[in-house]
Amino acid sequence: MIMKQFFSTRNLLTRKNLVLFLLALTLLSLPLIASINDDSYLLIMVSRMLIFALAALSLDLVIGYGGMVSFGHAAYLGVGAYTVGILSAHVMEGSSIGFLPGNLPGTESGLISLPLAMLLAGLVALVFGALSLRTRGIHFIMITLAFAQMLYYLFISLYRYGGEDGLSMNGRNLLPGLDLYNDTHFYWLCLGCLTGYGLLVYKFLGARFGQVIRGCKQNPEKMQALGFATYRYQLVAFVISGMGAGLAGALLANHSEFVSPDLMSWHLSGELMVMVILGGLGTLIGPILGAISYLLMEEVLAGYTEHWQIILGPLLILVVLFSRKGILGALVGKAADDG
Amino acid sequence: MVDFTPPPLLHIRYLNKQFGALKVTRDVEIRVEQGEIHAIIGPNGAGKTTLINQISGELAADSGSILFDNRELCGLRVHQRARLGVGRTYQTSSLFDQMTTQQNVMLALQNQQGHSFRFWRKAATDPSLIHPALGILERVGLLDQQNDYAANLAHGQRRQLEIAMSLATKPKLLLLDEPMAGMGQEESWKMVAALRKLGSEVSILFVEHDMETVFSLADRISVLVYGRVIASGDADTIRNDPNVRDAYLGGIEDA
Amino acid sequence: MLLFLEQLLNGLQLGFMLFLMAAGLTLVFGIMGLINLAHGSLYMIGAYGAAAVTQATGSFTLGIIGALISAAVAGVLLELIVLRRLYNRDHLDQVLATFGLILFFNELTKILFGPQPLYLNVPDLLNGSVEIIPGAPYPSYRLAVIGVGMLVAVSLFLLISRSRIGMLIRAGASNREMVGALGVNIALLYTLVFGLGAMLAGLSGALVGPLLSVEVGMGENVLIITFVVIVIGGIGSIKGALVGALLVGLVDTMGRAFLPGTLALILGPEAASSVGASLASIAIYLLMALILIWRPAGLFPAQ
């Protein structure tokens, strides 16, 4: 009884906030747990989860809130990753960036390469988005997919930067005050980026811009009849989302010190979508939970059988058919709905 | 020698639209004066909704001109026309079902206050949206429902909310597609009263089946049959027009 | 000039293979409103079916029959068990569930046949070349593939424009409710259409088997190009699928064959070899982007 009252209290003590609190508590205390157990793999693994959580969150902004089913989000992740990778590779070679004028050298400074990764991913999202948003529904899905695929093949044929084999980096980026080779530092960077981007998106969604984006998902015709230039708002949301994915890509490149066209593959785009749906579409915590559980599931299932995808596939179908609200929906019920 | 009549608010001329072999709008000419309540009547399939859609921009006309407030609307997008002051409602109310009544109106108001590329200040607690929204809800009598989700409103309330949202965009002309559709007798008369009140503030062009409401509400009426305007004028003119009697009213009165 | 004609034929061959894929995909979307990512899996099943039966019996003809049967059976089962539950869902659900199917089929194939690619030999009868253009011998197998593609295209058009089931398919593509009102068993019609599409995809996979390696994941590459085809052609339109497929087949083949050389004249050989290769590999996507700027609903939008 007491529990029920506790949960039904309509104030800060909502089940949603409880989930958020527990999630934050776990993530914040993880470095401590890792150092007590002397388990550095734990931090490396969870860092990767946080990076994918960032990518999934950015994707949810367009799918869950904006109603734009982008099936090519790996492209922006890949652009972010290659930005970091190419800049670093030039440092390794001691060469200048050949395709740009002015003999610009490469760099390993995170202060340059991370923002640049976001900027370039945003630019690519601007171009692809501007073309894709001329269409709707199934066309939009297929066109975003095809554009991502175009970039994928472009990088496969880009022999200068490793082609199909990918590109090894000189090392991780340098940031003042942080040592990215230190697993704990790297973990904090990932958690910081995820939190920062998450808070920004949260603010945006609560502001007038967010109301328009939600309106565009629920009833785009009505939005236009009310005088909103929906195209522009959706495009801006698409770019913001692409920048988030670009940042995730930049972190992922640092994580593995290697980039390859696989980062842009449609398979990864699909996986990002799976994470969003698994965790809870149209919520901010959902994609984070989704990314963590998807990668955890991969980790656990892969421990039993190398053919773990034969279990994952049908599982995915069951989730789609029988549980629309994802993990967050199962945890907090109707309160999960925010899109 | 000087023409003192003010230009009409809406002047449609030689408007044509064809779907395949079917001509749904043929050389339509309609004038809506400033402050007028103008009705479009006609049998089913006369092309009334198609005409409304061409004015609002959801359908592109094949040829002709739609002059609104001295601006040519043809070639403009839906949102551009809305910004010039063309508001509309749909046959089945088109709302944001997952938002509350108040949020629906607040969203409509946003566009009245410049662009919405505002990323920081919380919209839900913004007094410059809340106050006018409550004012509009009071005007249409939906104040008690301000926190209800649009999806849970009754049919008549949905229609009122849709009109409230149109009003929030401060239109010069309201296009109403069968505002009384699906309403009971009592609800209809309430709506008629509300529209009459509204008519003193904004020009209205509406499509309606029910003759009673049309004759009691409209200043002028245009009769559309098979995409063509066969008569236009005040209620008496329309009642006594032989063409209209033949094509349309006759059938009803005989029944 | 001879090279050009040869590449033209290669382009046609690719185009007809894409058409076999696109026809099923576009029909399924037009009639059932379903985005089926697993269509590529049916192509893969066809290829593996052909490879397995050919290896067991030594007959490529039996292999083709095996491919048709295995793809059709897989397609019908798929429709009955999973896909029909998705017809009324939104596109996002369809994408995710059929993505799950791809993972399943890929892994299952890996378990059954191992991760190494299989190779199918060109049947002896067609293992030569024909000089249809004097001085330019062209592999007879590829020529046969073009022939089969044309044959299927013609029969499909006849089926759809002349037969009763074709009439229902056309009616279904433009107005789903109406077909139900005619008292037709919709569920059966859907299963049949799906089975037909699956069979065509399987045929395509089997025919391509001797030209490419038969491997896990082969379906996805062709699936995405097929999407490009039907987006260009206009989703739901068979005519659009044919035009789109030939266009994509020709542009892709010609681009790869001639773009690097042409660019070398302009940019110089070194720059051209990398730019040309890149440009050739994305030519079809650029084509799609251009067509969509011009006509957002594709060349032949279905109503």
- Tens digit of each residue's pLDDT (9 = 90 or more) over A122-140: 999 999 999 999 888 888 9
Asked whether residue B161 falls in the same domain as residue B178, the answer is no
> Considering only CB atoms, which chain A residues are within 8 Å of C106?
309
Mean pLDDT over the full length of chain B: 89
Query: Confidence band (pLDDT; 50, 70, 90) for C294?
Result: confident
C46, part of any domain: yes
Chain B residues 149-188 with CB within 8 Å of chain A: 165, 169
pLDDT-wise least confident of A99-113, B79-93, B237-251: B237-251
How far apart CA C32 and CA C28 sit, in angstroms, is 5
pLDDT at A8: 46
Q: Tell if the CB–CB gap between A221 and B94 is shorter than 8 Å.
A: yes
Residue A146 has pLDDT above 80, yes or no: yes
Q: What are phi and psi of B140, to 5 degrees?
A: -95, 5
Asked whether residue B68 falls in the same domain as residue B119, the answer is no
Asked whether residue B248 falls in the same domain as residue B225, the answer is yes
Asked whether residue B125 falls in the same domain as residue B246, the answer is no
Residue C6 has pLDDT above 60, yes or no: yes
C281 touches chain A (CB under 8 A): yes
Q: Which of B139, B168, B197 is the last residue of a domain?
A: B168
How far apart CA B115 and CA B108 sit, in angstroms, is 12
Sequence-distant (≥ 6) Cβ neighbours of residue A97 within 8 angstroms: A86, A87, A90, A104, A105, A106
DSSP-based three-state secondary structure for A168: strand
How far apart CA C23 and CA A186 sit, in angstroms, is 50
Token digits of residue A201? 């998106």
pLDDT at B147: 94
How far C275 CA sits from the closest chain A CA (Å)? 8
Mean pLDDT of A57-77: 95
Residue C134 has pLDDT above 60, yes or no: yes
CATH number for the domain harbouring residue B7 = 3.40.50.300
Residue A68 has pLDDT above 80, yes or no: yes
pLDDT at C289: 83
Asked whether residue B118 falls in the same domain as residue B69, the answer is no
Structural contact between residues A286 and A327, judged by C-beta atoms closer than 8 angstroms: yes
Q: What pLDDT, in 10s, does the model give residues B108-127?
A: 999 888 899 999 899 999 99
C243, part of any domain: no
CA nearest C297: which of A323, A1, B99, A137?
Answer: A137
Enumerate neighbours of A (3 or more CB pairs within 8 A). B, C
Q: Closest to C285 (Cβ–Cβ): which among A139, A149, A309?
A: A149
How far apart CA C75 and CA C81 sit, in angstroms, is 10
Query: Confidence band (pLDDT; 50, 70, 90) for A242?
Result: very high
Residue C157 has pLDDT above 60, yes or no: yes
Q: Tell if the CB–CB gap between A211 and B83 is shorter than 8 Å.
A: no
Asked whether residue B175 falls in the same domain as residue B163, the answer is no
pLDDT at A155: 92
Asked whether residue B203 falls in the same domain as residue B221, the answer is yes
What is the domain range of residue C90? 2-216
Residue with the larger pLDDT of the pair C41 and A337: C41
Chain C residues 116-135 with CB within 8 Å of chain A: none
C83, part of any domain: yes
What is the domain range of residue B115? 90-168
Q: Work out how many domains chain C is built from and give that number.
A: 1
Q: Name the residue in chain B with its Cα closest to that of A216.
A: B96
C80 touches chain A (CB under 8 A): no
Q: Say how many CA atoms lie within 13 Å of A329 toward its Cβ.
A: 17
Mean pLDDT over the full length of chain A: 90
Q: What pLDDT, in 10s, does the model give residues C171-216?
A: 776 666 666 666 677 788 889 889 999 999 999 999 998 888 899 9
Enumerate neighbours of B (3 or more CB pairs within 8 A). A
pLDDT at B136: 93
Amino acid present at C35: I
CA nearest B110: which of A240, A233, A284?
Answer: A233
Q: Which of B132, B151, B168 is the last residue of a domain?
A: B168
Chain A residues 199-218 with CB within 8 Å of chain B: 203-204, 206-212, 214-215, 218
- Looking at chain C, list the stretches that DSSP marks H as alpha helix, in order from N- to C-terminal side: 2-32, 39-57, 60-81, 91-113, 140-162, 164-174, 176-181, 186-208, 218-233, 238-267, 269-294
Q: What are phi and psi of B38, to 5 degrees?
A: -120, 130
Residue B237 has pLDDT above 50, yes or no: yes
pLDDT at A256: 94
Enumerate neighbours of C (3 or more CB pairs within 8 A). A
Residue B1 has pLDDT above 60, yes or no: no
Count how many residues are written for chain B.
255
Q: Name the residue in chain B with its Cα closest to that of A235.
A: B117
Q: Tell if the CB–CB gap between A226 and B103 is shorter than 8 Å.
A: no
Q: Work out how many domains chain B is built from and give that number.
A: 2
A317 touches chain B (CB under 8 A): no
pLDDT at C185: 78
Q: Name the residue in chain C with its Cα closest to that of A68.
A: C92
Q: Closest to A273 (Cβ–Cβ): which among C95, C104, C282?
A: C95
Determine the Cα angle at A226 with ends A225 and A227, to 5°: 90
Asked whether residue B126 falls in the same domain as residue B177, the answer is no
> Considering only CB atoms, which chain B residues are within 8 Å of A208?
110, 116-118, 121, 123, 126
**DSSP string computed for A192-226:** HHHHHHHHHHHHHHHBHHHHHHHHHHH-HHHHHHT
Q: What pLDDT, in 10s, does the model give residues B176-227?
A: 999 888 888 888 888 888 899 888 889 999 998 877 788 889 999 999 988 9
Query: Confidence band (pLDDT; 50, 70, 90) for C128?
Result: confident
How far apart CA B131 and CA B126 sit, in angstroms, is 9
Sequence-distant (≥ 6) Cβ neighbours of residue A190 within 8 angstroms: A47, A50, A51, A54, A251
Asked whether residue B176 falls in the same domain as residue B226, the answer is yes
Determine the Cα angle at A332 with ends A18 and A204, to 5°: 75
Mean pLDDT of C221-240: 89
Q: Tell if the CB–CB gap between C231 and A266 is shorter than 8 Å.
A: no
The winner for highest mean pLDDT among A78-87, B187-196, B213-222, B230-239 is: A78-87
Q: Which of B142, B168, B194 is the last residue of a domain?
A: B168
Asked whether residue B77 falls in the same domain as residue B192, the answer is yes
The winner for highest mean pLDDT among A309-323, C179-193, C219-233 is: C219-233
R_g of chain C computed on alpha carbons? 20
Q: Which residues pair with A118 in a beta bridge?
A: none
How far apart CA A181 and CA A185 sit, in angstroms, is 8
Asked whether residue B186 falls in the same domain as residue B65, the answer is yes
Q: What pLDDT, in 10s, does the model give residues A278-302?
A: 888 889 999 999 999 999 988 888 8
Residue A2 has pLDDT above 60, yes or no: no
Q: What pLDDT, in 10s, does the model give residues B135-190?
A: 999 988 899 999 999 999 998 899 999 999 999 999 999 999 998 888 888 888 88
Q: Tell if the CB–CB gap between B116 and A229 is shorter than 8 Å.
A: no
Mean pLDDT over the full length of chain C: 87
Substitution target in B79, B90, B121, B161 with the highest count of A β-carbons within 10 Å is: B79
Query: Confidence band (pLDDT; 50, 70, 90) for B3?
Result: low
Q: Tell if the CB–CB gap between B96 and A215 is shorter than 8 Å.
A: yes
pLDDT at C173: 65
Count how many residues are written for chain A.
339
Residue C170 has pLDDT above 90, yes or no: no
Structural contact between residues C30 and C171, judged by C-beta atoms closer than 8 angstroms: no
pLDDT at C177: 67
